[in-house]
């Protein structure tokens, strides 16, 4: 059955139970005020600390948006993009799109204006739903995008003249379930990924993949109606949304926290009685550091119900988990491996019962198969390094409109080549060794070296540049730029830092190293050599000498 039926089931069985809560710590009042979002016309004021929505209200909101989309000509197979920060409107909009038979197209909220246009064009988007944080970016490219409609999720008086206000337009729409037949084989969503070139690929998933992720998540983490999931990562990412699918399938409550300060996380866990929290490595690190510095006193919070902390999206240092278990000895721990092409987390997971294997990403997840293959796609022996391949209902249908790229990673018999090099131990647990591509994962976000390199090469004193990832205790990796200056010229780190202000903040190199950039006889940068130099003992020397 399509994933929309889980929502409709919850609305029937648990109509008055709270499904979603939005917490905005920046607006924390002296006395907490709760607003029932359903009763407000202006739904994204973000002026209150806490908003909530029942399962019935959730389903009604989705139906209203679906019926609004019908009035604008949206039909089965069309694409509607979502460009929103985490908020109470996000998931009803997502499900409203799905209920029409159209495809939801979530966009990274860090996209620059040009990236918004590129992805909209790539996915054949007909309509864009966006929030106030993106007005400037959308306005900059709207005349170049071939879109039929724009919906603005925010205050009525801030709605751009080219957009309709989402809340105002949906308020009087029909609440009837749209009469659209949807099957598991129907296309459901397009997510974006990218290779080392930095050009996003559009990843096409079917409804069957979304349902598979629901079942895998609940199998892995045993969600019941008594659980409360604290969701902090962005919902545009497959990881956050597919972990929330465990709440959807179990009919349990989820809390969207708009902020990652350690005290905000613990306060939300305490006040909302959260039982499951998914963290990224830097957030877990920040919580432990704040406790060590005495800035957080665990006795000030109600945390006894918190049963599971799990981490994904980047390599997890075993030392971090050992440290976490000392502070929170009663917590279960799990790590989840996945990629957007395999519908986010869960194709490999450690399992809460395997804490002694911390450092491994685990074994095949529920409904998944794994193998490690060589360059000829033949399975290697246990202990040998090869490329990790996965197979299951969560594998993407294809890269949308890109058969060449699809053929590079999807085999005829349904195996997805992940691009990650791995090995398997004697017990069948998988360990990542290195990435086949040069993508840098910093704080759970992908950075693409070529994009940064191309930007830096525009500097008139730079002869050559290479960007690599360096290990970082908090972020997993940081981007380091090895810069070769033109002969007879000089340049300072401060000048490079100032120049990089033209990049989005998250793409700016965190380390600048002035040195020669080695290239092989075919002209390719020898990045393995650079990693050998700067990821080892010479890193400190390199960073302090220049």
Q: What percent of the chain has pLDDT over 90?
A: 69
Residue 84's SS3 state is coil
CB atoms within 10 A of CB 105: 28
* Separation of alpha carbons 334 and 144, rounded Å: 45
Q: Please check whether residues 511 and 422 belong to one and the same domain.
A: no
In 3D space, the residue among 434, 403, 404 whose CA is nearest the CA of residue 418 turns out to be 434
- Which tens digit of pLDDT belongs to each residue from 286-308? 899 899 989 999 999 999 999 99
Looking at the domain assignment, is residue 337 inside a domain? yes
Q: Is residue 273 part of a domain?
A: no
Q: Tell me the torsion sign for CA atoms 276, 278, 284, 286.
A: negative
Please write the tens of the pLDDT for every residue from 483-508.
Answer: 999 888 899 999 999 999 999 998 99
Domain boundary among 259, 284, 318: 259
For residues 421-432, average pLDDT = 91
- The answer to whether residues 43 and 165 belong to one domain is yes
- Do residues 254 and 21 touch, judged by C-beta distance below 8 A? yes
Q: Looking at the domain assignment, is residue 495 inside a domain?
A: yes
| 332: CATH | 2.30.38.10
CATH number, residue 141 = 3.40.50.12780
CA dist list (Å): 450 to 143, 387, 442: 28, 23, 15
Please check whether residues 225 and 367 belong to one and the same domain: no
Band (pLDDT 50/70/90 cuts) for residue 432 is confident
Which of 500, 494, 507 lies closest to 449, judged by CA?
A: 507
Work out the average pLDDT over 66-73: 97
532 pLDDT higher than 90: no
For residues 19-34, one letter each, b for 16 or more C-beta atoms within 10 angstroms of the residue's C-beta and e for the rest, the string is: bbbbbbbeebeeeeee
Among residues 83, 110, 85, the alpha carbon closest in space to that of 451 is found at: 110
Neighbours of 526 (CB within 10 A): 14
The answer to whether residues 450 and 340 belong to one domain is: no
- Chain centre distance of CA 435: 18
Q: What is the largest CA-CA distance in the chain?
A: 74
At CA 387, angle to CA 385 and CA 393, rounded to 5? 135
Alpha helices (H) along 366-524: 403-409, 449-456, 493-499
Q: Is the pLDDT of residue 31 over 80?
A: no
Question: What number of H helices and E strands is found in the chain?
Answer: 16, 27
Q: From CA 86, how far away is CA 235, in angstroms rounded?
A: 6
pLDDT at 285 over 90: no
Q: How many folded domains does the chain comprise?
A: 3
Which of 13-17, 37-41, 268-272 shows the lowest mean pLDDT across its residues? 37-41
DSSP state of 491: -
Do the Cβ atoms of 234 and 109 come closer than 8 Å?
yes
Beta bridge partners of residue 203, listed in sequence order:
191, 399
Taking residues 474-488, report their average pLDDT. 91
**What is the pLDDT, as a whole number, of residue 434?**
63
Is 178 inside any structural domain? yes
- pLDDT band with cut points at 50, 70 and 90 for residue 30: low
What residues contact 421, with CB distance under 8 A and at least 6 apart?
Answer: 385, 386, 387, 388, 432, 433, 434, 435, 436
Q: What is the C-alpha separation between 339 and 306, in angstroms, rounded?
A: 27
End-to-end CA, the chain:
60
| The predicted structure's pLDDT at residue 372 | 96
487 and 411 within one domain: no
pLDDT of residue 140: 97
Query: pLDDT confidence of 314, banded at 50, 70, 90?
Result: low
Last residue of a domain, one of 220, 235, 259: 259
**Interval 364-400: pLDDT, tens:** 999 999 999 998 999 999 999 889 999 999 999 999 9
Separation between Cα atoms, residue 502 and residue 458, nearest integer Å: 11
> Which runs of E-coded beta strand occur in 298-415?
308-312, 332-339, 344-349, 363-364, 368-373, 386-392, 398-399
Domain that holds residue 187: 4-259
Q: Does residue 277 form part of some domain?
A: no
268 is a domain residue: no
Q: What angle do CA 331, 254, 98 make, to 5 degrees?
A: 130
Contact 295, 266 (CB under 8 A): no
Mean of pLDDT values over 320-344: 92
Query: Are 189 and 204 within one domain?
Result: yes
For 434-438, 492-496, 524-528, which range has the lowest pLDDT when averaged over its residues? Answer: 434-438
Element (H, E) at 341: none
Residues 6+ apart with CB under 8 A from 415: 371, 377, 389, 390, 391
Contact 512, 496 (CB under 8 A): yes
**412/467 same-domain check:** no
Tell whether 522 is covered by a domain: yes
Count of beta carbons in the 10 Å neighbourhood of residue 4: 26
**Are 389 and 535 in a shared domain?**
no
Give the E-state strand segments of 217-331 in sequence order.
228-231, 253-257, 276-279, 308-312
Q: Is 418 exposed, middle or buried (0-12, 13-18, 19+ CB in 10 A)?
A: buried
Specify the range with the lowest mean pLDDT, choosing from 248-262, 308-322, 352-366, 372-386: 308-322
Helix ranges (H only) for 181-259 are: 207-221, 238-250
pTM over 0.75: yes
User: Are 478 and 510 a contacting pair, CB within 8 Å?
Assistant: yes
- What does the block give as tokens for 457? 């090469």
Count the neighbouring beta carbons within 10 Å of the beta carbon of residue 443: 18
Quick one: pLDDT band at residue 3, thresholds 50, 70, 90? very high
In whole angstroms, what is the distance from residue 451 CA to residue 467 CA? Answer: 9
Is residue 406 over pLDDT 90? yes
Residue 36 above 80 pLDDT?
no
Q: Which of 69, 146, 137, 144 is nearest to 103 (CA)?
A: 69
Mean pLDDT of the chain: 89
Local confidence band at 543 (pLDDT 50, 70, 90 cut-offs): very low
Contact predicate 206/248, CB 8 Å = no
Tell me which of 63-72, 265-274, 473-482 is least confident: 473-482
Which CA distances in Å does 44 have to 136, 165, 446?
18, 10, 29
User: Is 275 among the domain residues?
Assistant: no
Among all chains, which residue has been given the structure tokens 């925010």? 154
Q: Is the dihedral of CA 128, 134, 135, 137 positive or negative?
A: negative
pLDDT in tens, 201-221: 999 999 999 999 999 999 999
Q: How many CB atoms lie within 10 A of CB 208?
A: 21
Q: pLDDT-derived band of residue 194, with 50, 70 and 90 as boundaries?
A: low
Q: Are residues 423 and 473 in the same domain?
A: no
Q: 259, 274, 300: which is the final residue of a domain? A: 259
Q: Are residues 201 and 118 in the same domain?
A: yes
Same domain, yes or no, for 431 and 445?
no
Say whether both 377 and 461 belong to one domain. no
Structure-block tokens of residue 150: 């724009």
CATH of the domain at 540: 3.30.300.30
pLDDT at position 537, please? 44
For residue 29, name the pLDDT band (cuts at 50, 70, 90).
low
Could you tell me which residues come within 8 angstroms of residue 68 by beta carbon, excluding any fewer than 6 positions away? 96, 169, 170, 173
- Burial of residue 513, with CB atoms counted within 10 A of its CB: 0-12 exposed, 13-18 middle, 19 or more buried: buried
């Amino acid at each position: 059955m399509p994933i929309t039926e889980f929502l409709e089931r919850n609305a029937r069985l648990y109509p008055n139970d709270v499904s979603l809560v939005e917490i905005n710590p920046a607006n924390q009042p002296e006395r907490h005020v709760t607003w029932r979002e359903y009763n407000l016309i202006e739904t994204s004021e973000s002026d209150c600390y806490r908003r909530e929505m029942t399962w019935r209200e959730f389903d009604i909101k989705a139906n209203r948006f679906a019926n609004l989309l019908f009035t604008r000509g949206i039909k089965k197979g069309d694409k509607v993009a979502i460009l929103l920060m985490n908020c109470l409107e996000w998931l009803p909009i997502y499900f409203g799109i799905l209920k029409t038979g159209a495809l939801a197209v979530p966009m990274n909220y860090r996209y620059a204006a040009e990236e918004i246009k590129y992805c909209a064009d790539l996915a054949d988007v007909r309509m864009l739903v966006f929030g106030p944080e993106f007005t400037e970016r959308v306005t900059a490219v709207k005349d170049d995008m071939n879109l039929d409609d724009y919906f603005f999720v925010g205050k009525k008086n801030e709605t751009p003249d080219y957009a309709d206000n989402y809340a105002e337009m949906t308020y009087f729409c029909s609440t009837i379930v749209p009469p659209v037949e949807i099957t598991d084989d129907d296309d459901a969503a397009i997510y974006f990924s990218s290779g080392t070139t930095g050009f996003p690929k559009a990843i096409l998933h079917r409804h069957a993949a979304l349902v598979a992720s629901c079942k895998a998540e609940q199998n892995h983490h045993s969600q019941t109606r008594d659980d409360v999931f604290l969701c902090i990562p962005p919902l545009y990412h497959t990881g956050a949304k597919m972990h929330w699918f465990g709440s959807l399938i179990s009919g349990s409550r989820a809390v969207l926290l708009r902020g990652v300060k350690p005290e905000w996380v613990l306060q939300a866990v305490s006040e909302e009685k959260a039982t499951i929290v998914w963290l990224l490595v830097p957030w877990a690190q920040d919580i432990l550091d704040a406790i060590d510095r005495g800035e957080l006193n665990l006795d000030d919070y109600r945390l006894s119900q918190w049963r599971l902390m799990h981490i994904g999206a980047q390599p997890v240092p075993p030392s971090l988990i050992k440290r976490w278990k000392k502070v929170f000895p009663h917590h279960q721990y799990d790590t989840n491996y996945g990629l957007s092409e395999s519908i986010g987390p869960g194709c490999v997971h450690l399992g809460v019962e395997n804490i002694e294997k911390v450092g491994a990403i685990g074994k095949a997840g529920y409904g998944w198969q794994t193998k490690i293959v060589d360059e000829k796609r033949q399975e290697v022996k246990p202990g040998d390094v090869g490329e990790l391949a996965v197979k299951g209902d969560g594998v993407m249908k294809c890269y949308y409109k890109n058969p060449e790229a699809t053929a590079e990673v999807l085999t005829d018999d349904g195996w997805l080549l992940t691009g990650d090099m791995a090995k398997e131990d004697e017990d069948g647990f998988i360990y990542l060794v290195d990435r086949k591509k040069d993508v840098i994962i910093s704080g759970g976000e992908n950075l693409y070296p070529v994009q940064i390199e191309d930007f830096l090469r525009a500097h008139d004193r730079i002869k050559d540049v290479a960007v690599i990832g360096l290990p970082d205790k908090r972020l997993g990796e940081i981007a380091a730029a090895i810069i070769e200056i033109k002969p007879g010229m000089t340049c300072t780190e401060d000048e490079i830092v100032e120049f990089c202000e033209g990049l989005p903040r998250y793409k700016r190199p965190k380390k600048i190293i002035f040195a020669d950039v080695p290239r092989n006889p075919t002209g390719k940068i020898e990045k393995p050599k650079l990693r050998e130099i700067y990821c080892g003992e010479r890193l400190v020397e390199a960073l302090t000498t220049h």
